[in-house]
Amino acid sequence: MAKVTVDIPLDRLSMAQEYDLDLSAICAVAIERAMRARAPLMALTPAARGLLFRAQQVAQSWGHAYIGEEHLALAILVDNSIPGQEARRLGIAQPLA
């Protein structure tokens, strides 16, 4: 494991020591989050891009500034994919007009 020097304000260091926090674990999580935020989005198939676009439309129509599982679920239900077709066959969803 590599050794790294990190500058931590004294008040934060005192809090970490007071609560017996694992600073190595906290740093590892922070680095992972920063890397994930900068990593390019994986390549998506056209169908997946379309599904995300429909989920975004649902979210916007509900006044939400995020795409959550509820938006993805609705997008899948109205999609012409196999899950969407199966949902309509089972009477869970209606086809789009």
Same domain, 10 and 33: yes
Evaluate whether residue 64 is within a structural domain: yes
* Model pLDDT, residue 5: 78
Q: Which domain range does residue 31 map to?
A: 1-39
Q: In angstroms, rounded to a whole number, what is the distance separating the alpha carbons of residues 42 and 57?
A: 21
* pLDDT above 60 for 96: no
**More confident: 62 or 6:** 62
Q: Average pLDDT in the 2-8 region? A: 75
**pLDDT tens digits, one per residue of 15-62:** 888 899 888 888 888 887 877 777 666 677 888 888 889 899 999 999
Phi, psi of 88 (to 5 degrees): -70, -40
Please give the tally of structural domains in the chain: 2
Helices 69-78 & 82-89 angle (0-180, nearest 10): 80
Distance of CA 44 to the CA centre of its chain: 15
Evaluate whether residue 34 is within a structural domain: yes
Q: In angstroms, rounded to a whole number, what is the distance separating the alpha carbons of residues 58 and 51?
A: 11
Residue 57 CB partners (closer than 8 Å, separation 6+): 75
